[in-house]
């Protein structure tokens, strides 16, 4: 898993420059690996109509889904301060999370690895529709 995390961190470091964050001045990047082993990355994209802002995680997730991917096995969220994923991103992740999804939260200095179930327990999920 260490190599996968390094790969995702490098993708984050490469894409964070594309962050469009003139309002918050907070640049965030995210990169993920799907259960098929493919990787996708994204950065936050703000809007003057703040509610239209989208987080880096959801950009990466939607890029993967729009390419036909179905399940996320590892996701890295990278920012200067090491921000964790927000509530809406956790909810979107829950829809497409592999059973053992790991969430890596990091910054320039280090990172922490979390089990998704630990940071978003008892989520509202598609299981309720079965
Ligand atoms: Zn978010």
Cα 105 to its chain centre, rounded Å, is 9
Q: Per residue in 67-85, pLDDT tens?
A: 999 999 999 999 999 999 9
State in Å: Cα 25 to ligand 1 middle. 15
Among the listed residues 3, 57, 80, 95, the single catalytic one is 57
67 is catalytic: no
Give all domains of the chain, ordered by start, each with its CATH number.
Answer: 2-129 (3.40.140.10)
Q: Per residue in 2-53, pLDDT tens?
A: 999 999 999 999 999 999 999 999 999 999 999 999 999 999 999 999 999 9
Q: Which residues surround ligand 1, an ion (CB under 5 A)?
A: 55, 86, 89
pTM exceeds 0.85, yes or no: yes
């Amino acid at each position: 898993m260490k190599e996968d995390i390094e790969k995702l961190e490098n993708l984050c470091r490469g894409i964070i420059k594309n962050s469009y964050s003139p309002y918050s001045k907070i640049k965030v990047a995210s990169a993920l690996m799907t259960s098929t082993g493919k990787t996708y990355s994204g950065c936050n994209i703000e809007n003057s109509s703040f509610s239209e802002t989208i987080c880096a995680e959801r950009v990466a997730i939607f890029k993967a889904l729009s390419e036909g991917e179905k399940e996320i096995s590892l996701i890295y969220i990278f920012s200067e301060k090491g921000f964790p994923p927000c509530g809406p991103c956790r909810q979107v992740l829950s829809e497409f999370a592999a059973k053992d999804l790991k969430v890596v939260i990091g910054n320039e200095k280090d990172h922490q690895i979390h089990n998704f179930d630990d940071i978003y327990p008892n989520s509202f999920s598609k299981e309720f529709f079965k």
